[in-house]
Structures are given as structure tokens and as C-alpha cells.
Amino acid sequence: MTKYQISGHVAAGWEPVRSVFQRNFESGRELGAAVAVQHRGELVVDLWGGLRDPRTGAPWESDTMVIVLSATKGVAGLVMAYAHSRGWIDYEARVADYWPEFARNGKAEITVRQLLSHQAGLHAFHQKVDREVIADFDRLARIMEAERPEWPPGQHYAYHIMSLGFYEGELIRRVDPRHRTLGRVLQEDLAGPLGAEFYIRLPPDTPDDRLAPIQTPGIVASILGLPVAMIPKVLNPWSHVFRSTMVNPGTMIAVDRDTVYARDLEVPSGGGVGTARALAKLYGEFATGGKKLGIRRETLEALKAPAIPPKGGTKDMCLTTEISYSLGFMKPFYGLPIGSPSAFGTPGAGGSMAFADPEIELGYGYVMNRMGTGVEPDPRDVALRKAIAAVLA
């Protein structure tokens, strides 16, 4: 078997997606990857190929899972949407209505919408947050309650690179009638019923040989790939950008030297592990009306609606670029053309991507183990999405 062998299937008419997926490997850009598309409830693309682990030569298999970094945020956003649909939360309510201690230090008026849309000014922790803290939900909650926002709520966008998911997780613990964690709600109420293998808390018995180790481009290449205005902030240990990316807890906190990825650790902003097929199924459910999960129309309409930008405009104070966030997702804009205006999803560092487009009833997932650089859409993902658009046209 060559390292470029492609496995899986495509439905009739979707062959161009397979061709582009193959070319991504032949160009040398890809190592191991998978792509899936669910259209109108049918899994029309389910492809995988390349190497799961270049050190051993092990191939990428049908059930290979990989970390998707910030694409995890979108899955956490789906859990929050599920909570909204169940009446556990109201997007317009204050976070403190559900979590009274959150109101401390100037956070009393922050709404759920502002928090989920990266407008809360809580993008960097001031106290130490490491694996030990993350594993202790009560201790982590106390740290979050003590945080003070960088500016009034709704003033600016600032990408909550790692912190958002921890706030979401505590909010879910407060509002779920059974006080489950976000990862448990995902498994028991969304992923499990849909047969989607995606975890925001990897089970301890997951075999290492099902996991694709992530191949990073290196710290220098990663930094040089950032927007020019962001680079000094990333290198400045006193900046909130440094604190939100490099430490407390750092974007690679869920990567483990001995077991590929950490087990029993919930990192809802960057520690999700799963398959492209699972992402397509999860987003595909929301793209087709959410009937299997009983998602209310009111929730779906909120997700489809345009983003409500902050008072200070659409520039992200961390990424230093124009952006569009809404309710735990990114919305389409010139920097991320992911479909119709009703689409919503989230990319992950290095290239992974997943989104729903309700207008065409499509769910999409792309994952890989060779990370690219920069914050712009990855060329491999862009080529695949262009092929999908051509098929639908």
C-alpha cells in the first residue's frame, strides 16, 4: 500500500471530492486525513487515507481519530445549542442568572450570547490553569469566578482561544438537570444517539493505535504564519494574547507524550478527538432540522441568524483580523466563506474544519494529522469545499 491510498466511498456525482482529496496527498501537503459530507441526511462522502503514524508507517483507518483543536469549539457550541433547545439556557439571559458566583469582579451583566460570541473579555486567565486544575471542575470554577474582564461586555471581539470552553462547561454543569459535564452531555445526548464518534473527554480505554498523533510545524513556523500584528503579542509574556495561547493552559494541553492524547480531560475549546464522519453527522443533524435530537426551530433560527457584532467593530483584539462570531461558532465572512449566510461552524488550528449549512442541508467535517500554519483557511480544506460547491452547483 502506498501512503497515498484512499479508502472509503462517495455517492454517485460526488466523485470530484475524491479526486481533490487524492490530489491533496499527491501534492505532498497531506500526511493522513479524512473528509466526510452528510447531505440531506445521507453520508455522501466518507473518505480517509495516508498515514496515521509516520513513525510506524501505520495507515489511517476508517475508525482513526485525531484531535481537531479549535474545531472542538463548534461541537461545544452544538452542546450549548442543545441546552438552549431544552430550555436550560436563554442566549439573551445573563450568565450570572444560572451561575450566581460568575457575577463577581465586573461580570454581572455578561450575557450568554456575549460569552459564546467572544465578547466577554475573558479570553485569558490570570491564575495558573494546568491539567490538575482542569481536572478539578470546582477549583476551575473558582478561578473563573475570580476573573475580571478586560473591557465591558459587548465592547470587542477577542478570541477566547482556550478559556471559552471552560466557561461553557461550568455553565452546562449548572443548568443540566443532572449536573453533567459538557463532555457527558455530548456523549449521552448528542453523539451517542447519532452514532457519531467524537469526544470532549476521551475515554480511558481508548487504544493508542486508534489515535493519529498530530504533526506540528514547529514553533517558529507557527509564529511566522500568524498575522504580522499578532506576532509581537504572542511573543510578549505579559500580553493577554500570550496568556491565552501559550500558557494557562496552552493550546496543546490535551496532547500527551505517552498516550497521544490525554484521557478523562475535558478541554471544550481545543481537546476534541474524533472522526471527520462524526463531525459531518453532528453538523448534518443541525443542518437538516435536528429532528433526531429534538432541536427546536427557535434554536435553529438563532444559529442561522447573522452575527451581532460588538460595539467596537469586527476586529478581533487577539487575532488582529476582522472576524464574525455567533453563539459558539464562526459565521461566514470574507475570511471564511463556508457556504450560505445561514451556515455556522468552526475551523481548527492547522487545518481541520467542520460546519453546517442549513440552506443546502449539509454537514461537513475535515480532519488531518499534519498541521498547516496561519489563521487563514487551509488550502487542503478550501480545495475540498470548492469541490463540494461544484458538485452542488
Q: Give SS3 for 209.
A: helix
Region label for 248, one of left (φ > 0), alpha (ψ between -120 and 50) or beta (otherwise): left
User: What secondary structure does DSSP assign to 278-315, as a single string?
Assistant: HHHHHHHHHHTT-TTTT--HHHHHHHHSPP---TT-SB
The H helix count followed by the E strand count for the chain is 15, 14
- Determine which one of 70, 269, 326, 352 is catalytic: 70
Cβ-Cβ contacts under 8 Å for 49 (sequence gap 6 or more): 4, 5, 6, 7, 8, 21, 22, 25, 30, 32, 33, 34, 60
Q: Give SS3 for 7.
A: strand
Cβ-Cβ contacts under 8 Å for 359 (sequence gap 6 or more): 339, 340, 341, 342, 343
Measured CA to CA in angstroms, residue 74 lies from 141, 149, 164, 269, 319 at distances of 22, 23, 11, 8, 18
| 135 touches 112 (CB < 8 A) | no
* Rounded distance between C-alpha atoms, residue 359 and residue 223, angstroms: 37
* Rounded distance between C-alpha atoms, residue 210 and residue 63, angstroms: 7
Cβ-Cβ contacts under 8 Å for 155 (sequence gap 6 or more): 119, 121, 310, 311, 312
Identify whether 324 is a catalytic site residue: no
Cβ-Cβ contacts under 8 Å for 207 (sequence gap 6 or more): none
Cell of 196: 457519531
Q: Peptide bond preceding 249: is omega within 30 degrees of 0, i.e. cis?
A: yes
Cβ-Cβ contacts under 8 Å for 27 (sequence gap 6 or more): none
Catalytic machinery residues: 70
